[in-house]
Amino acid sequence: MNVKLTKVYREPNLEGGLRGNSVVGNTYEIPQIGSQFCMYASPLETGDLRFIKTSKIIESDILDNIITITTENGSIYTIEILGEDS
């Protein structure tokens, strides 16, 4: 499915993380508590594919087509479901 992952909050001293505030791409499954959220998108610079993975999800909330997740390291993201794979 086609999704937009948006960073809402991230602990300031953590390494890694989402470059930029949001990314549009595809995922194979709805995020689940206890699992990592994984998606792929077009690369920012070079290469064929960009792979994005969060730490484990500890909390989630769904409102219409937007899922809000909180991860193990305290980051908060929204995942907007945009439709089928593009």
The DSSP annotation for 16-77 comes to S--SSSEEEEE-SS---TTSEEEEEE--SSSSS-EEEEEEEEEEEEEETTEEEEEETTS-EE
What whole-number distance in Å separates Cα of residue 29 and Cα of residue 41?
Answer: 15
The pTM score is 0.86
Q: For 2-40, how does the pLDDT look when each residue is reduced to its tens digit (9 = 90+)? A: 999 999 988 777 666 667 789 999 999 989 999 999 999
pLDDT of the residue at 69:
97
Q: Is the pLDDT of residue 80 over 90?
A: yes
For the record, the structure tokens of 1 come out as 């499915």
